[in-house]
Structure 1
Amino acid sequence: MTHEVREFHTRFRPRATRGLGLKAGPRRTHQGSGGGSVTHRACGFAMSRSIGFMTRLGAALACVACAPVMAATWQDAGFHAFDTTVRSDAGVVRRGQVLVRRFGNAPSLVDLGLPAGVRVAGLALTGNDILFTPDTAFASGGIVATPRDVVRHGASGVSMFLRGSDLGLPANVRIDALALAGTDVLLSVDVAARIGATAIGPADILRWNGTSVSVLHASHSLGLSPGTNLIALERFADGSLLMGFDTAGTVGGVAFKPGDILEYIPASGRWSMARGSSRFGVTCDPCVLVAFAASGNPDVVFRSSMERYED
């Protein structure tokens, strides 16, 4: 009698399992006789069972046991905005719209309701709402927002989240990268400027704690070359940072192009390529990713079937 064993497979391998010999197995179907044995991969580890009813039951139970660990990652998502109209598998993404890739779901679009000609310059997530900065001033929903302001977009429409004047940003400065660190706001600006006595540059990462602005990471301490402009930023709970730039360059031995997303680990000072600009599932010639936000572990966001990544 021949029994079939089907594998339960995931393309995701958490950072915590690296170096432990754990790896998601390939998709295969094993055939065998009732008295034989088979080694297969299920839920990211290798296991052996006798073929037959217990084989299929053992594999199923093993994957059920893995489910609570993996379930929390299935909601992770990436939010992307581009400098021009692009085509994607979710449809045409226009200026003022955000492409959303959510683990386990079809890609979708979020329209921020911006007037024609206004695009997104910075993105961040807070709960179910999107925070963004516009590249030009606009009026909508009873508010007037400038490029140094942060706007909240939610189910009830748009509202002002943070005014650049409260941060002490000069009127000619534009916020072009945005993230959250708990209740603090992380941001970067497009030109060199001063906030009070503090000089800031276009690749510095600033922190607003609700009362004052400080330089969290100066561009020179990150190893970035002069003239580099930070245009996309995200911070995860483990402290790792995702960054994108509007120019090509090299940092920490990693070469990058405009719109690539790099990962930086402050604790070790290590840089790595998280996602190349050619792998966002969009068609355009040319276009650049200008804003990005994500939720969850960066390994899940970039190394999962959501982004069509293969180990």
Structure 2
Amino acid sequence: MVRYSKLPFRELVRGYNVDLVYTPMILADVFAASDYARHSDFSTNVVDDPLVIQFAAKNGKDLADAAELAFPYVGGVDLNCGCPQKWAIQEKIGSHLMTQPDLVRDMIRHVKARTPSLDMSIKIRIHPDLRETHEFVKRAEMAGVDYITVHGRTRKQKSAETVNLDAIRFVKEVAMVPVVANGDVFSASDAEEIQRVTGVDGVMAARGLLQNPALFAGYEHTPWDAVEKYVRYALGYGTNQFIFHHHLMYMLETQMSKAEQKTFNILTSTPAILDHLERNWGFNA
């Protein structure tokens, strides 16, 4: 998730049956080159464990440099090969890498050579021709990848299109390493059904967790105690207003009337957000 899944949100979801958390996607070259960027993009603490840091990269050196710097603070590093946003494809990162299996293989090798004890994973999408996906997976395995997360859509498919569970099951059947499924997980029952159909070793949620951080604990909607916890974590750790606002917009969207959504969505400061929550929801910071 670009920008999201920073420390306050990770701490929140850990309290609702989430076993493994990821950082937002971070640009490896910037992370490696700038001390300011590292402190801005990445923070953790002793309870933020296990943790995977996810990087976007276009060459092995940048990825290995970033992984080496992150190594003391994380249990794993993930290469994002799935981001479908236009800017990422133009920068030759994210899902652009699904057309570059040899490059991805080499990036995995760089990381494993530099930090052999650090788990290395990739998050991929499927190809229209699953034979390409099969080849992609096999090259990653030969390079030493420890596990693979599969988003069951091609890079050109929109999120409104149904995830391809048959394709995820195919990857699980041909892979020799653990496989995690991603896509269309909006409830605990969704996760259970995807695991049953595909046989994967784990299930990941992104958009679903933004909307309901407690989904893996069986909640159908964000419980109020999750909202309160997030506010306190965010204020305590110093989250910027944009991210703070957007997390709450996602969490409360289905529980607000259209009129309240319009009012809440145009709030422009943290004090205004807190005032709205106190006035309309009885929250006392």
Query: Of the two, which has the highest radius of gyration?
Result: 1
The two structures share one fold, judged by TM-score above 0.5 = no
Higher helix fraction (1 or 2): 2
Higher strand fraction (1 or 2): 1
TM-score by length of 1: 0.28
